[in-house]
Structure 1
């Protein structure tokens, strides 16, 4: 009971509010971080107020008094605002009265002027429409109609071809293109009329330009390095009419052909085709002292003219190549009949370099005809083999130069190729005639085995030909292949003649004679790179004759030494016992034969080397003769060593088999010479 009563009292006490706890709770629940609270504290700090009961009571009164004073000031200010608003109201009222009066007057004026304003508005609309039509008409005339001045500049020959002409021509082309838009409307009459007029003026303009270009070509000075820009511009524009453009080129080529032909004729003779003499020129016909110089001067003149012509015309085509190409392409699209024809012929796009080369080729064609006639005459009247080849090589040289300048397909290059072929035919004909004339000399072999005179003459001519050919522009591989035809005519027949002559001789004279011929030919061909294959063949042939001479000298040593029969008999035997037993039984190994062989050998050895060398005295290469003799002597020494070895083995075998009472028989005693002595005497 006591416990329960105390618990109830505690709970009741808890529910009863405590002023102190309420105050503490209120203070603790206040947020001092509040902005307004901080501002209030800051204001109190400014006033310097102390925290006392009296101050707190007085502070409340002071604050209330300040609030009342502030409200009073606000009321005073609002009274002033009210007075101003009243005055504004009066002013607005007066303005409303004035506005109403003005509105009445305006309404009356509007009623009085409404008809006039409507008329003015209608007139303004009409004015705008007229101005739009005027603007449209001006634009139409500016874009689709040529003015009188422009028409005159475009079509009249009396007017110059200047910037106004080209601008008018461009405008006429634009009008023709823009007429396609007018043809797109239902009413096509205007478009057809404008296009017809523009096309007519445009055609007249191109005809004027065509005639102007022809006129300019007549007086065009190609010697001037700076050809006028007007002619280049005219050609670029005229390219849009491929037919007219090509006609101009044909006309120009024809005119330049006559000019260059006359110039070439003047350079040759010193006077023009009409007979007017030019004393400032030294005629080629008189200045050239020999045939080769004459042909070279003519070719040099043509080359100089072609180079000058190309350099002068490069400015007309190369610099404007893309514009001319586009113009020709556009012209082909417009000229339907020409387009169909070119499609049938497989025409290609415009190539400025090709066109330039073709034009230069046509320009010099007249001079080339004169050149060809004179060179053909020179070739046909020539009777010298070397000169014929030099002419062919000279023509080949200039053909290569013109191929690089104008292309391999030019008529000038083809003409030079035909002349070169003609010169080579003449060369081969003269060479064959010369060989035919020497047929009688092929059977007369010189007594001293030296090369025949015709071979020296042929090699002298071949040397001159090779020196000429060496200056050609072909590569070394091409030179060697191309020169084979020359070798077949100027070398092979003479070497074949030497071979025929050698057939009448006996060994070793035939080998000495051929070796001398081959050595002479080798010394002639070796200095030139494009004869390497021929040099290798000659060296192989010399090696063959060398082997034959070595064999001849070797046979000489064997026969003159008296050992030939013994060497032959022992050549098939080896150092085997059964072969050694047969040695004393050989006929050549019998005492009389060995004694005789030894005596012959002794008589031969003192002069053997000199006699052998004497046999090769006609061989022109003494070093080669020495090598051949030494090689043959070495072979003989090797054979003698084999003979010596077999005789010694036979003596040893005989000593082993002989009895006490048998009389010894020594083969070496009958044949005492040693291989060492042989080598010394033959070295």
Structure 2
């Protein structure tokens, strides 16, 4: 087109096209501007635009070729297709309009039919109105009747029990099983719910049902009471699987405290009789029932050994108590506090059975259990006490009596931990222990009285007398027995508990030894006393609760000091120095008393004879002292004092010679000096006595 356009233009101008810049053509300028706008719009268009992309996609689908013919007819083809589409749409909407006309006619017909039906309904409503009102009244009455019937059925279901249930509850021919307890629970619920009926205007029904349920409950508890008594007669507490029914029955029966207590009394009497017979069978070995022979040997076979005899009886009683308590715990305590709660509820329902104690303190299941065990074993402990007292009274042996007393006290501590301090069984055992201890004290005093002559005579070898040795041997047995019976006491209690035994089994014999000591002369008295005290201290030190070292040591120290003094005196006497030590205190008295040198020479010679064997002679002097360590210490201290005395005398001799040397006017060589007559020195004495 551009070529034709420019060609035509040049032909119009005579074959020559001259475009003058100074006089441009108006049409050319307009076409140039349109072309620029078109180019600008094309260049400014974004080919990412959805409309352009859709247009290009449609052109792609048509499969058109980019030719001049196609570009000229494109718009016409598109407009033709658009006109065809619009025509199809108009045809479709024409069909829709025809259908809408048919629907309008159908709606109009339906409206006319509804109007007719409404007229007929109004007429029928006017005719059936009275009948509907009557029907509503009848339905209301029916609902009321049905409600009353439901109430009646519910009342009968809740407050009335059937004859079969009543027979199960009250008839003794029927067993006490789960059905019995279920019905009993229901009757108790009826009895409680009668309080609601008593709160209504008409109380007659509530009173009648309350009276009827009370009779039924009383009959049921009487049946349960008799059943429990029958079960108690055949109940085997040694069976680890005690019936759960009896436990449940006791828990329920506790709601009637009077019946429950009667059952316990009956049970206690039966168990006391059974356990007493079992104890007698264990003593003799004769079985009460041929089907249940006695296990083990008869206890009386060990009657020749009194301690074992009583120990076996106490062990049987303890084993029976433990078994009885464990069985009764299963029977009475396994349900927790259910029995206590039932008794509390029963006291509320039986005001006449309430006491001041019940108001102050709640029911204590453990305490009641301990009391029941006490009652069950009362017969056993009575027999045990009688037989034990016979054993104690028939044997005059202090050691045996004390062992029995300790054994009983040991079991008292066991029973106290098992049953409590307030147990009545302990009131049976404590007098038995007191009887044994009285027999021990009486026997010991009689023994001391029989030794009256021996308590005043010392042995030739100054060893502890036989009565003290025997007493210490007995005391060792007593201490061993006491040590095994007070395992639960602290140290202070153990010491305080054994002091009365020492007062009976030791103090009289120590007093006898002290009397003998007073009759002896020194040093024999001190040797004898030390031998006795050391033997006593050694024996008592075996057990801390009997140790009397703090009491005996001052007495030992006092006798040791006296014995040192006696050995020191013996040293002075045997060495011949006693006159010098006792009479010479100054140099002047030495010079005046021993003017004749022969006297000092004689003493010096006797000292020389004494010193080589002084230590051995001193050991022989203390040979009867059994504690050799003490004897060596006494000799050493006595020798030390002897050396000190000699050194003082030596100093006086030297001083006396110096005084004489100052007083001599003649020839000094003719004087006889004291030092020459007494040449020994203190160092030599220490060496010889060391």
Coarse TM-score class (shorter-chain normalised): 0.7 to 0.9
Equivalent residue for 1:673, pick from 680, 683, 687: 680
- Corresponding position: 1:267 with 2:274: no
Distance of aligned partners of 1:490 and 1:98 in 2 relative to their CA distance in 1, 3 Å threshold: same
Residue 594 (str. 1) matches residue 609 (str. 2) = no
Larger deviation, residues 440-449 vs 354-363: 440-449
Give CA-to-partner distance per residue, 1:545-572, whole Å, 9 cap, x none: 222211110111123222234335677x
> Which of 558, 566, 579 in structure 2 is aligned with 1:544?
558
Distance in 2, matches of 1:280 and 1:233, equals 33
Shift of 1:476: 4.3
Tell me if structure 2 keeps the 8 A contact 1:583–1:647. Answer: no
Looking at structure 1, the residues matched to 45 and 683 of structure 2 have their Cα atoms a distance apart, in angstroms, of 138
Q: Which moved more, 1:354-363 or 1:281-290?
A: 281-290
Superposed displacement of residue 362, structure 1: 1.0
Partner of 1:7: none
Matched, 1:382 2:411: no
CA–CA distance in structure 1, aligned partners of residues 491 and 600 of structure 2: 63
2:282 touches 2:294 (CA, 8 Å); kept in 1?
Answer: no
**Alpha-carbon spacing, 1:390–1:124, altered in 2? closer, same or farther (3 Å):** same
Query: CA offset at residue 495 of structure 1?
Result: 0.5
The alpha carbon displacement at 1:348 in A equals 2.4
1:396-431 Cα offsets, whole Å, 9 max, x none, are: 121122112212211112211111011111111111
Say which of 176, 180, 190 aligns to 1:161: 176
Q: Given that residues 287 and 294 in structure 2 are in contact (C-alpha distance below 8 angstroms), is that contact kept between their aligned partners in structure 1?
A: no
Equivalent residue of 1:321, what SS? coil
2-structure distance, mates of 1:39, 1:245: 104
C-alpha spacing 1:591/1:33, structure 2 compared with 1 (3 Å):
farther
- The match for 1:553 among 553, 560, 567 is 567
Partner of 2:241: 226
Quote the Cα distance in structure 2 between the aligned partners of 1:568 and 1:505: 25
Matched residue count = 652
Aligned residue runs from structure 1 range 147-546, under 5 A: 147-270=162-285, 283-343=298-358, 347-474=360-487, 475-532=490-547, 534-546=548-560
SS at 2:361 equivalent: coil
8 Å contact kept, 2:597–2:672: no
Deviation at 1:326, TM superposition (A): 2.2
**SS of equivalent residue, structure 2 residue 485:** coil
Gaps of 5+ in 1: 1-20, 572-579
Offset from partner CA, 1:29-63 (integer Å, 9 cap, x none): xxx999xx97478658855999xxx9999999888
Aligned residues of 1:562 and 1:600 also touching (Cα < 8 A): yes
Are the equivalent residues in 1 in contact too, given 2:190–2:213 (CA < 8 A)? yes
Question: RMSD of aligned C-alpha atoms?
Answer: 3.9
Greater mean alpha carbon deviation, residues 660-669 or residues 134-143: 660-669
Q: Matched residue of 1:471: which SS?
A: helix
Structure 2 gaps of 5+ residues are: 1-32
Helix, strand or coil: the match of 1:362?
A: helix
Q: Residue 608 of structure 1 corresponds to which residue in structure 2?
A: 614
Tell me how far apart the structure 2 counterparts of residues 520 and 512 of structure 1 sit (CA, whole Å).
12
* Cα distance in 1, alignment partners of residues 295 and 189 from structure 2: 54
1:269 deviation in Å?
4.0
Alignment check: 8 A CA contact 1:569 1:588 kept: no
5 Å matches for 1:13-32?
none
1:505 Cα shift? Answer: 0.9
Q: Compute the displacement of 1:454 (Å).
A: 1.6
Q: Which of the numbers 611, 617, 620 marks the counterpart of 2:626?
A: 620
Alpha-carbon distance change, 606 to 38 in structure 1, aligned in 2, over 3 angstroms: closer
CA contact (8 A) 2:587 2:652 kept: no
SS of structure 1 residue aligned to 2:337: helix
Q: Say yes or no: does 1:682 pair with 2:689.
A: yes
Alignment partner, residue 577 of structure 1 = none
**8 Å Cα contact 1:565-1:588 kept in structure 2:** no
Relative to structure 1, the CA distance from residue 405 to residue 587 in structure 2 (aligned partners, 3 Å threshold; closer, same or farther) is: same
Shift of 1:92: 2.1
CA 1:432/1:33 → structure 2, altered by over 3 Å: closer, same or farther? farther
Task: Check conservation: 2:318, 2:415, Cα contact below 8 A.
Answer: yes
Residues 509 and 287 (structure 1), Cα distance of their counterparts in 2 relative to 1, 3 Å cut? closer
SS in 1 for 2:471: helix
How far the C-alpha of 1:395 sits from its partner, in A, is 0.9
Partner Cα separation in structure 1 for residue 209 and residue 74 of structure 2:
104
Distance 1:589 1:478, change over 3 A: farther
Question: How far has the Cα of 1:502 moved from its partner?
Answer: 1.1
Once the two structures are superposed, what CA deviation does each residue of 1:264-300 show, in whole Å capped at 9, x if it has no partner?
23333455899xx989885433442232222222222
* C-alpha distance 371-589 of structure 1, shift in aligned 2 (>3 A): farther
Please report how far the alpha carbon of residue 150 of structure 1 lies from its aligned counterpart in structure 2 after TM superposition: 2.2
Who is 2:16 aligned against? none
Deviations along 1:318-363, one digit per CA (max 9) or x if unpaired, are 321222222223223333333453356xx42333332222211110
Q: How much does 1:510 deviate?
A: 0.7
Q: Decide whether the 8 Å contact of 2:584 with 2:590 is kept in 1.
A: no
CA apart distance, 1:142: 1.9
Q: Which is higher, the Rg of structure 1 or of structure 2?
A: 2
The answer to whether the 8 Å contact 2:159/2:190 transfers is yes
Q: Could you say if the C-alpha distance between residues 585 and 330 of structure 1 is closer, same or farther in structure 2, counting changes exceeding 3 Å? A: same
The TM-score normalised by the length of structure 1 is: 0.84
